[in-house]
Amino acid sequence: MDKDTMASYSRRDFLTGLCTTVLAHSEILRLADEPESWAQTQIPSVSPGQFEIQRVAADVYFALAQPWALANSNTAIFVNSSDVLVVDAQSHPAAATALIAQIRKEVTSKPVRWLVNTHFHWDHTQGNSAYVSGGSKLDIVASQATNLLMSQLLVPRLRAALDPSSPGPRGSQQVARQLEELRQRAAKVNSEAEKAPIVERIAQLEFFADEMKDFKPTLPTITFEKSYVIRDKHHDLHLEFHGLGHTAGDVVVFCPQKRLVVTGDVYHPGWPGFTDSYPQLWPKTIDSIANLQFDLILPGHGRVQHSGRDMAGQRNYIEELAERVITGRKTGQSVADLQRTITASSLKSLGSRAFMPAATTEDIERGVKENIDSMYDRVERVSFSGSEPLRLRQ
């Protein structure tokens, strides 16, 4: 998921972070191999991501990722009778390591025994190695398609993001070019107050680039085609593939006893991501998930949802936009043609206000245009061939 957001820091936080940036780059990477050390270490402002952990049900917690230079996934945390299952592992190992420390401090000292990857995207899987380095027995569980796509695409897409000569991969941040643009902006700003967040964002991106330069994916140890169930005396956790949607391998984690579902990015509040999607089939996949008996939705990004209204609204938006784009493609219309003719006001699914992906009219119109562009060459795909293209930005 693309997010061009950043954390806000006070002047004191900024100065502290600036003074400790060099230390942070070496110290946080060292601590990534020593998870216990995090609990006793104050994380500087260049820290690899923070999380707001909230209890959502008995033995179930939700770690909401806080704004950082690059997107991190949320994490669902299930406390079992003797261990822990977590869902999704952030965009880099240091962020996952920081969350492990928070879990130990704020939730439980029980070891993480299970890690579920809902899909292959970088902001959900590149932190997997932090859980492996903890020393306890760990299984990483994902769909077979997710395992394939992680092995094929994580490294080349990351390389493209870190390469200043590359336009960068679609559906991901172009780190190298962002850094160059931010450095140029910082050089032109005279006000310390205006420069502070720019310099902090530079420090965060430099930290990420340094940490990830030799990245190798940590792949699932257990894969499945349709479902995998983990049973505990506290609850049952059903890992289920409901069909092609946001990617070829999206799984949800359904807990019938707690009446909640963890959806990854097959549904989350805001704009759906179409980079690796199957837009014609995605609405049917959401329909299948909606048949589960749940009261709470724990999404991959954004806050906990207490009803299915937004999910249903997003489902209708995907269906309507896909139909409009398919019709346009069949008559030879280009992306630019469709962006002129398909406006937010012309989409009934947005007019119903059941789905509100942005706050302002301008942002909604911009989002529709971006969705048209990202789904245009995906909209008629109805099967998974076993691989996906790198898909660089144009």
| Cβ atoms of 285 and 264 closer than 8 Å | no
Helices (H), the chain: 11-31, 35-39, 93-106, 122-125, 128-132, 144-162, 175-188, 192-212, 282-290, 309-330, 335-341, 348-351, 361-375
* Whole-angstrom distance, CA of residue 140 vs CA of residue 382: 28
Residue ranges covered by each domain of the chain: 1-276+296-308
The burial of 323, by beta-carbon neighbours within 10 Å (0-12 exposed, 13-18 middle, 19 or more buried), is given as middle
* Whole-angstrom distance, CA of residue 197 vs CA of residue 45: 11
Q: What is the DSSP letter of 378?
A: T
Taking the alpha carbons of 43, 48, 53, 59 in that order, is the dihedral positive or negative? negative
pLDDT for the residue numbered 187:
95
Q: Cβ atoms within 10 A of the Cβ of 181, count? A: 12
Domain 1-276+296-308 fold: Metallo-beta-lactamase; Chain A (3.60.15)
pLDDT for the residue numbered 251:
98
Per-10-residue mean pLDDT of the chain, 394 residues long, equals 34 35 37 34 54 97 96 97 97 96 97 98 97 90 98 97 95 93 95 94 96 97 98 97 98 98 98 97 98 98 97 98 98 98 96 91 96 97 95 86
pLDDT for the residue numbered 61:
98
pLDDT for the residue numbered 31:
36
pLDDT for the residue numbered 384:
97
Record the pTM. 0.88
R_g of the chain, CA atoms, integer Å: 21
The burial of 303, by beta-carbon neighbours within 10 Å (0-12 exposed, 13-18 middle, 19 or more buried), is given as middle
For residue 96, give the nearest of 34, 48, 150, 168 by alpha carbon.
Answer: 48
Residue 292 sits at the vertex; the CA angle it makes with 350 and 256, to the nearest 5 degrees, is 135
Helix (H, G, I), strand (E, B) or coil at 87: strand
pLDDT for the residue numbered 265:
98
